[in-house]
């Protein structure tokens, strides 16, 4: 039985939500394992929380591609847009709320993550349904996603000292200051 786009997008939302929450704790559960640190949150910085959305969505896209990717000529372009919208949504929502109300409790930060995941999959679904973008180069879109993954890994270990990379609890940056 062939599953619908709505089914896959819902499963993607659930997968990304659960995996993102697990990735928040995984580096501590593995005693700061350097490989796990590459794709998990190593501290409470906004940058590290973007990994909680990016990696589960990307992994799910790789799985989803096997089942419905061929039905959509623009599959990888849509996935690129959805993921980028999600990783942009987190800091935009976070800094907006914090700018208006000041520091937020943890439950608000968790809600921001789930709102960003929802926005990502919602945007993807609307683009698929409307066929509103063409995709000149699906391979280029996939390559860009891989480059974003590399960027997340590199900046985990060599972060610039700017606010988005700073852990607000420890005032540290990156993996080497965590261990």
Q: What digits encode the pLDDT tens for the residues 99-136? A: 999 888 889 989 999 999 999 999 999 998 887 777 78
Scanning the chain, the segments in alpha helix (DSSP H) are: 5-29, 34-39, 46-68, 75-101, 106-130, 138-157, 174-178
pLDDT at 179: 54
Report the C-alpha gap between 41 and 74 in whole angstroms: 30
Give pLDDT tens digits for 55-70: 999 999 999 999 888 8
Asked whether residue 178 carries a pLDDT value surpassing 70, the answer given is no
- Which is more confidently placed, 169 or 120? 120
Measured between alpha carbons, how far is 2 from 83 in angstroms, rounded to an integer? Answer: 25
Asked if pLDDT for residue 173 goes beyond 50, the answer is yes
Distance CA 150, CA 156 (A): 10
Portion of the chain with pLDDT greater than 90, in percent:
72
pLDDT higher than threshold 70 for residue 84: yes
* Average per-residue pLDDT for the chain: 91
Q: Is the dihedral of CA 66, 72, 73, 78 positive or negative?
A: negative
Output the pLDDT for position 1.
39
User: Per mean pLDDT, which range of 24-28, 67-71, 148-152, 159-163 is the poorest?
Assistant: 67-71
Q: Vertex 61, ends 56 and 63: CA angle to 5°?
A: 100
Q: Tell me the pLDDT band of 23, cut-offs 50, 70 and 90.
A: very high
pLDDT of residue 2: 54
Predicted TM-score of the model (pTM): 0.91
Residue range 70-75: average pLDDT?
85
pLDDT of residue 176: 78
pLDDT of residue 8: 93
| Residues whose CB falls within 8 Å of the CB of residue 16, separated by 6 or more in sequence, listed in order | 53, 56, 57, 60, 117, 120, 121
């Amino acid at each position: 039985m062939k599953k619908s786009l709505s089914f896959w997008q819902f499963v993607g939302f659930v997968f990304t939500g659960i995996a993102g929450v697990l990735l928040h704790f995984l580096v501590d559960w593995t005693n700061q394992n350097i490989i796990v640190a590459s794709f998990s949150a190593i501290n409470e910085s906004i940058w590290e929380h973007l990994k909680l959305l990016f990696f589960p969505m990307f992994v799910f896209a790789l799985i989803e591609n096997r089942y419905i990717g061929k039905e959509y000529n623009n599959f990888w372009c849509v996935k690129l847009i959805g993921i980028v919208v999600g990783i942009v949504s987190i800091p935009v929502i976070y800094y907006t709320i914090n700018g208006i109300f000041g520091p937020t409790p943890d439950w608000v930060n968790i809600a921001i993550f789930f709102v960003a995941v929802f926005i990502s999959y919602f945007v993807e679904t609307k683009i698929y349904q409307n066929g509103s973008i063409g995709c000149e180069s699906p391979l280029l879109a996939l390559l860009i996603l891989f480059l974003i993954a590399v960027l997340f890994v590199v900046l985990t270990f060599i972060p610039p000292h700017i606010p988005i990379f700073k852990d607000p609890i420890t005032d540290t940056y990156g993996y080497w200051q965590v261990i």
